[in-house]
Amino acid sequence: MTLTLLVLFAVLLGIGAPIAVGLGLSAALTVWFYGLPLSVLLQRAVNSIDSTPLLAVPMFILAAALLSATGVTGTMFDLVRMIVGRVRGGMAHVNVLLSLVFAGMSGAALADIGALGGMQVREMEKQGYRRDFAAGLTIASATIGPIFPPSIPLIIFAAAAEVSPVKLLLAGIVPALLLAGMLMGYIAFIARRKNLPRDDVAPSLRAFLRLALVAAPALLTPVLLIGGLLSGSFGPTEAAGITVAYAMLIGVLVYRQLTVEKLLASARETVLATGNILFVVAAAALFAWVLTMDQVPMKASAWLLAISDDPLVLLLILNLVLLLAGMVLESIAAILIIAPIVTPALIQAGAPPEQIGVVMVLNLMIGLLTPPVGMSLYMMSITVRMPFAEVVRGVAPFFLPLFLALALVTFFPGLTAWLPTYLME
């Protein structure tokens, strides 16, 4: 059954079918071919999206769209420039820090690129940076978004692996900061070797305070989110709803930029993005159900534990599998298919579920930077109208800090497990 499923899936992808169609149709054809009840398809698809944690996904997407509609991203950009712009390679450091700040509002790499990518590349070009370098850094720094809360991929992993979404979101904080630090350290090294330019911004205390005052309400968004999770006042779904309400409040009363037209545009953007994600979720649920019927998760767990009961060895195997999967599979689909298969074995071997989730998401976000399916590459190519090959060439040097951050998260479970353990137990 599994072989039939995989062959059909490969054929559908080979003829150009979208990932969600390939997953769902290959599962449906396998169910039909083996005489299984077709009624289960609708039932499994509906049950897969009838999930309270998944309610957070559209609300976090809406919150990010609403904040972007206020126009505050430009103010945050100017504020970060004021802080670090004058160091050598300052605009590159601004790029990373702005992605970290926006990560606390978007939770998705493609949202980061769509909202900030064009502006970041244009500003870096004005300062004398090569266009491919600017584009490569922008999509590399966008990988911070899906690690730092509110991380949409981590919420989906929690739903697929049936682990605590709150702990997973908290587990992403330290690795996200580590990733930002790695990228900035690499920029500092390149800045000395290649004499990267300093920003031409003219810092002044008055201008800094004015920008900080304007940006403060938006910058409080991740503080509100993380503070609520830490205090136990609300879970991810409630946090998402409160974030939407807060974004609407400051958009109307503080920034006064959130018009009815912008609200409707944000809603349309949310519906489109959510529809795409949930289509993949429902299709992947059918695919995973066929694998479960053939006892693939149990067989995979037994096979992994037969290789080794050392969690580090199993995580290294997982890294290899995910890096390959990330080159051909969309990240959400990969999480929904692979997480239920490998997570039980890794937990049984002693790996913390928080570490498994962060390792999986970070791997797949690196996959967004690798051809042939690297969506971040295509998004950047479209956003700044740059040839695809040039974008690939620009991002290549930044794999070094990304893989170094991945290695640290893999070898040191405390980087992911310490914070949620300390705060919640």
DSSP codes, 8-33: HHHHHHHTT--HHHHHHHHHHHHHHH
Cα–Cα dist 265/409, whole Å: 38
Q: By CB neighbour count within 10 A (0-12 exposed, 13-18 middle, 19+ buried), where does 323 fall? A: middle
Q: Which two tokens stand for residue 5?
A: 């499923």
Element (H, E) at 201: none
In DSSP notation, 234-285 reads: --HHHHHHHHHHHHHHIIIIIS----HHHHHHHHHHHHHHHHHHHHHHHHHH
Select the more confidently predicted residue: 11 or 112: 11
Asked if the structure places residue 409 within a domain, the reply is yes
**pLDDT tier at 401, thresholds 50, 70, 90:** very high
Give the percent of the chain with pLDDT over 70. Answer: 95
Asked if the structure places residue 28 within a domain, the reply is no
The number of folded domains in the chain is: 1
Q: By CB neighbour count within 10 A (0-12 exposed, 13-18 middle, 19+ buried), where does 128 fall? A: exposed
Asked if the structure places residue 400 within a domain, the reply is yes
Region of poorest pLDDT, from 230-234, 262-266, 271-275: 230-234
Domain that holds residue 409: 40-420
**pLDDT tier at 372, thresholds 50, 70, 90:** low
Average pLDDT in the chain = 82
Average pLDDT over residues 283-309: 79
Q: What is the pLDDT of residue 407?
A: 93
**pLDDT tier at 356, thresholds 50, 70, 90:** very high
Cα–Cα dist 280/276, whole Å: 6
Residue 100 has pLDDT above 70, yes or no: yes
Asked if the structure places residue 22 within a domain, the reply is no
Cis peptide bond N-terminal to 340, omega within 30 = no
Question: Which residues neighbour 369 within 8 Å (Cβ) at sequence distance 6 or greater?
Answer: 139, 140, 143, 376, 377, 395, 398, 399, 402
Asked if the structure places residue 17 within a domain, the reply is no
Q: What is the pLDDT of residues 171-183, one digit of tens each?
A: 888 999 999 999 9
Q: What is the pLDDT of residues 20-29, one digit of tens each?
A: 888 888 888 8
Asked if the structure places residue 23 within a domain, the reply is no
CB 283 within 8 A of CB 27: yes
Q: What is the pLDDT of residues 249-259, one digit of tens each?
A: 888 888 888 88
Residue 376 has pLDDT above 80, yes or no: no
Asked if the structure places residue 19 within a domain, the reply is no
Asked if the structure places residue 261 within a domain, the reply is yes
Cα–Cα dist 139/99, whole Å: 10
Q: What is the pLDDT of residue 98?
A: 83
